[in-house]
Amino acid sequence: MDLSTREKNFAKYYSYITANPEYLKLKGIPRHGSTDTYEHSIRVGYAAYRLAKRMGVDPESAARVGLLHDFCLINYQDKTKEDCKSRPWYCLHHPEEAAANGELHFGLSKEEQDAIRSHMFPLAVHVPKSRLALVLTLADKKVASIEGAAGAKYFAGKVGRQLKKGLT
Ligand SMILES: [Fe+2]
Ligand SMILES: [Fe+2]
């Protein structure tokens, strides 16, 4: 699943985040069966930026939390890694790590950190308490559903091709 031209331009505009060597490591972490965490975060950042403008929320802040909401460098899908085995509750842990990493590398306000911590609502314990947090969780869910559908389509195509091979 490729980034759109608008999403690529958005990523260029926020290169102080997207070209950061630590942030670039997100390219190695798969997401939703059709993409990686780097591109997922750019999509969420752009979606949050646009939604924020419509909801009267600071778009710069929305872009930042969108880009940084999954800034967690542990691949929880890699079951061979000790990190993964010891921390199975991905939806509880990764927002905490993303908020801490975002603050460490780029500096975030308290409201931005809280928004990142609550982005997995209602799957995690933190409840969105600001309009910024609401924008982030909605943007993440919208993007995740599109990426998940693309992943399911890819998987179905792969299974279909294998079945066809087996049948001929
Ligand atoms: Fe997340
Ligand atoms: Fe996400």
DSSP labels, 74-120 = --TT-TTSHHHHH---HHHHHHHHHHHHHHHHH---HHHHHHHHTTT
Which of helix, strand or coil describes residue 148? helix
pLDDT for 143-163, tens place per residue?
999 998 877 776 677 777 777
Q: Is 56 left (phi over 0), alpha (psi -120 to 50) or beta?
A: left
- Distance of CA 56 from the midpoint of ligand 2 (Å): 22
- Distance of CA 128 from the midpoint of ligand 1 (Å): 14
Give, as residue ranges, everything with CB less than 5 Å from ion ligand 1. 70
Q: How many domains in the chain?
A: 1
Residue 15 β-bridge partners: none
- Distance of CA 82 from the midpoint of ligand 2 (Å): 23
Containing domain of residue 51, as a range?
Answer: 5-167
- Distance of CA 125 from the midpoint of ligand 2 (Å): 16
Alpha-carbon span 146 to 141, nearest angstrom: 9
pTM, two decimal places: 0.87
pLDDT of residue 95: 93
- Distance of CA 168 from the midpoint of ligand 1 (Å): 42
Q: The CATH number of the domain where 85 resides is what?
A: 1.10.1300.10
Residue among 116, 117, 108, 115 nearest 133 (CA): 115
Residue identified by tokens 């990142």 is: 116
pLDDT (tens place) for every residue of the chain, 168 residues total: 899 999 999 999 999 999 999 999 999 998 888 899 999 999 999 999 999 999 999 999 999 999 999 999 887 777 666 665 445 567 678 999 999 999 999 999 999 999 999 999 888 788 999 999 999 999 999 999 999 887 777 667 777 777 778 765
